[in-house]
A = this chain, B = another copy of it.
Amino acid sequence: MNFASDNVTGAAPEILAAIEAGNGGDLMPYGNDDVTKAAEAKVAKLFETDADVFFLATGTASNALALSAGTPPGGVIFCHTGAHIFDTEGGAPEFFSGAAKLLTIAGDDGKFTAEDLQAAIAAAQPGNVHHAQPATVSISQATEAGTLYGLDEIKAISKVCRTNNLKLHMDGARFSNAVATMGCSAADMTWKVGVDVLSFGATKNGALTAEAVVLFDADMAKDFGYRRKRGGHLFSKMRFLSVQWDAYVTGDLWLKNAAHANAMAKRMAKGLESVPGADITQPAEANIVFPKLPAKVIAGLKADGFLFYERGGEHVIRLVTSFATTEIDVDGFIEAAKKHAAP
């Protein structure tokens, strides 16, 4: 069983069906078609505002382009030390923004506070010509640690952004999981608490390959179409991204899939708690669990063929669940862990 990531699985049946259904007929390319216009509008409507929506195919492209929209060449992007944009995107945010400088802020549970942010901004000396100038702040929701920012925490961070004239970006590779857990609306989680631009992921939650950048700031949106093209991210047969998005937000598939993945993570966390010597190191608020396990248990699970990354500290492993994870998968893992933990 593969718990390495939520992208080890294929696509959800609803998404695959949409691809097939959308294949017929001629459509003008590059998004100049009604299918795309309708899907963009449908995603914008989810946010209850007239956001600008751009479809993309990878999370890295989505983050890097979204950040570039708020970051002039050479600007500073603040993010958490564990942020995906800092250490796992191959320098794409720096590349697309024209050599931005990513300055990291430490903090527990994959999060930083408004106070931490204000201190980091001050240290960067805005207005001092010898220093790269602050431009953008990026938070991940859900975080890379599988935790969630509360709405009040986001609001406090966005207030610091406003005060310092910075844009706020949300890396929502697992946005659906966050919304599903918190039970708020997509609007509550974003522009209502001051988010300027969202990278909205679908790939990890059931799409073949579908991401979207949702811009709540019209100024940032103005050049976005050119940026997407210039980055090689404008698809000629755009319909194939559009129909995935249409299906993803139809009948709340995005929430249904995310709720399931979250439930599997909770089940996993709860189950592992009863494994002797186990410790759940961070609250499993989305679809990721970071258990600390005895070395022999980890070794045993690997020998059994379970796949996962050892990440998050000594003897800590990362388990990621998805829309496709079953209770049987989870229970099988827990049972195996218990077996290996037995004296």
Tell which of B11, B64, B129, B225 touches A232, judged by Cβ atoms closer than 8 Å. Answer: B64
Do residues A91 and B230 form an inter-chain contact, with CB atoms below 8 A? yes
Shortest A23–chain B CB gap in Å is 4
Known A-B contacts A58-B235, A87-B131; A230 and B23 likewise in contact (beta carbons under 8 Å): no
The stretch of A41-49, A96-104, A188-196 in contact with B is A96-104
Q: Roughly how many angstroms separate A1 CA and B25 CA in the complex, as a whole number?
A: 10
The CA-CA distance from A263 to B89 in the complex, in Å, is 44
In the assembled complex, which residues on chain B have CB atoms less than 8 Å from the CB atom of A89?
Answer: 130, 229, 232
Interface size on A, residues (CB 8 A): 73
A177 within 8 A of B: no
Selected contact of A235 from candidates B72, B73, B130, B209, CB within 8 Å: B209
Asked whether A88 is an interface residue with its Cβ less than 8 Å from the other chain, the reply is yes
> Is A186 located at the chain interface by the 8 A CB criterion?
no
Task: State the number of copies, please.
Answer: 4
**Does A156 have its Cβ within 8 Å of any Cβ on chain B?**
no
Measured in the bound complex, the distance between the Cα atoms of B133 and A8 in whole Å is 25
Task: Tell me the nearest residue of chain B to A329, going by C-beta.
Answer: B26
Question: Which stretch from A106-114, A236-244, A335-343 is at the chain B interface?
Answer: A236-244
- Tell me if A28 counts as interface (CB < 8 A to partner B): yes
Known: A94-B101, A209-B240, A230-B95. A4 touches B23 (CB 8 A): no
Main secondary structure of the interface of A (DSSP, over half): loop
Minimum distance in angstroms from A41 CB to a CB of chain B: 19
- For A130, give its contact among B57, B72, B90 (CB under 8 Å): B90
Tell me which of A14-22, A163-171, A246-254, A283-291 binds B: A14-22
Residues of B within 8 A of A27 (CB): 8
- Residues of chain B within 8 A (CB-CB) of A20 are 16, 20
A23, B8: Cβ atoms closer than 8 Å = no
- Among residues of B, the one whose C-beta sits closest to the C-beta of A90 is B229
Q: Which residues of B contact A72 (CB under 8 A)?
A: 223
Interface pair B99/A102, CB less than 8 Å apart: no
Q: Are A229 and B98 in contact (CB under 8 A)?
A: no
A111 to chain B minimum Cβ distance, whole angstroms, is 21
Q: Could you say which of B97, B102, B225 contacts A101, with CB atoms under 8 Å apart?
A: B102
Cβ of A332 within 8 Å of any chain B Cβ, yes or no, is no
Chain B proximity of A260: nearest CB distance (Å): 16
Taking the closest CB of chain B, its distance from the CB of A267, in whole angstroms, is 19
Chain A residues 187 to 215 lying within 8 A of chain B, measured CB to CB, are 203-204, 208-209
Complex interface: chain B residues within 8 A of A2 (CB): 26, 28
Instruction: Given A26-B8, A130-B90, answer yes or no on A98-B96 (Cβ-Cβ < 8 Å).
Output: no
Set of chain B residues within 8 Å of A235, measured between Cβ atoms? 57-58, 209
Some 28 contacts from A to B, beta carbons below 8 A apart, are A2-B28, A5-B236, A8-B27, A9-B26, A10-B23, A10-B239, A11-B237, A16-B19, A26-B307, A57-B235, A58-B232, A60-B232, A60-B234, A61-B232, A74-B91, A74-B226, A88-B130, A90-B131, A91-B101, A92-B229, A94-B100, A98-B98, A99-B99, A101-B102, A132-B230, A133-B226, A203-B236, A209-B235
Listed from nearest, the 6 A-B pairs whose CB atoms lie closest are: A61-B232, A90-B229, A10-B23, A2-B26, A7-B236, A91-B132
